[in-house]
């Protein structure tokens, strides 16, 4: 039997614990619990997600900011019904509910402060999008205008699609499609980015 305190202390990866993914402004304000129905399944998928996608981001760009992490099915449904920027629970691209038994997915909405500062000065969001494509095995990425935040999702069989609400809006890369830019063009976009996993951390 899990206690909420024990669940929050579960380590997902080298840099992330479950606690920071359980915070929800919607849940806190409306007093709706944001606790997994199946904590073991949520942890299993959360570990795959954090290890494959979030740790490499943190080790490349420094600390990243989790805007919205895990959502319980009840909380996500409330957010959708209330027009609070939550997709329907049955939306095939919904990535915040980590413990649906028939949908192996885990994701979060995050901000990379290093890139957000450059985005505020006019940097093209596609520079980051193509860096993600060339370096990480994500399933979906979806960009938003504020701070160049983006949803990033893990699935055991990734879709490899990129979409954006930032101009040019729409699909930069459709699932199963080929990039519109060559590897050389993509690399030129992010030539000034930090070295991949360039931050040295002490061993655990």
The predicted structure's pLDDT at residue 203: 64
**DSSP 3-state assignment of 195?**
coil
pLDDT < 50: residue spans in the chain: none
The predicted structure's pLDDT at residue 3: 84
**What number of H helices and E strands is found in the chain?**
9, 6
The predicted structure's pLDDT at residue 163: 98
* 95 contacts 105 by C-beta, under 8 angstroms: yes
The predicted structure's pLDDT at residue 92: 87
Structure tokens at 7: 């669940």
Rounded alpha-carbon distances, angstroms, from residue 47 to 39, 82, 106, 173: 12, 30, 9, 26
The predicted structure's pLDDT at residue 204: 53
Tell which CATH architecture fits domain 17-189.
2-Layer Sandwich (3.30)
Please list the alpha-helical segments (H only) found in 37-123: 39-49, 55-61, 73-81, 113-120
The predicted structure's pLDDT at residue 128: 98
CA distance 78 to 62: 33
The predicted structure's pLDDT at residue 202: 66
Q: What is the mean pLDDT of the chain?
A: 95
The predicted structure's pLDDT at residue 199: 82
**DSSP 3-state assignment of 52?**
helix
* 153 contacts 138 by C-beta, under 8 angstroms: yes
Q: Which residue has the tokens 């980015």?
A: 193
């Amino acid at each position: 039997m899990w206690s909420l305190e024990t669940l929050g202390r579960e380590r997902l990866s080298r840099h992330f614990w479950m606690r920071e993914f359980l915070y929800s402004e919607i849940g806190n304000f409306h007093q709706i619990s944001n606790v997994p129905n199946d904590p073991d399944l949520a942890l299993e998928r959360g570990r795959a997600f954090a290890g494959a996608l979030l740790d490499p981001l943190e080790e490349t760009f420094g600390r990243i900011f989790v805007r919205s992490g895990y959502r319980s099915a009840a909380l996500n449904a409330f957010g959708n019904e209330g027009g609070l920027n939550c997709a329907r629970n049955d939306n095939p691209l919904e990535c915040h509910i980590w413990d649906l038994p028939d949908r192996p997915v885990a994701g979060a909405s995050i901000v990379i402060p290093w890139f957000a500062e450059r985005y505020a000065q006019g940097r093209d969001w596609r520079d980051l999008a193509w860096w993600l494509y060339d370096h990480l095995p994500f399933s979906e990425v979806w960009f938003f205008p504020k701070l160049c935040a983006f949803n990033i999702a893990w699935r055991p069989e990734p879709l490899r699609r990129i979409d954006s609400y930032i101009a040019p809006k729409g699909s930069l890369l459709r699932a199963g499609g080929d990039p519109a830019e060559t590897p050389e063009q993509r690399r030129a976009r992010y030539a000034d980015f930090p070295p991949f996993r360039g931050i040295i951390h002490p061993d655990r």
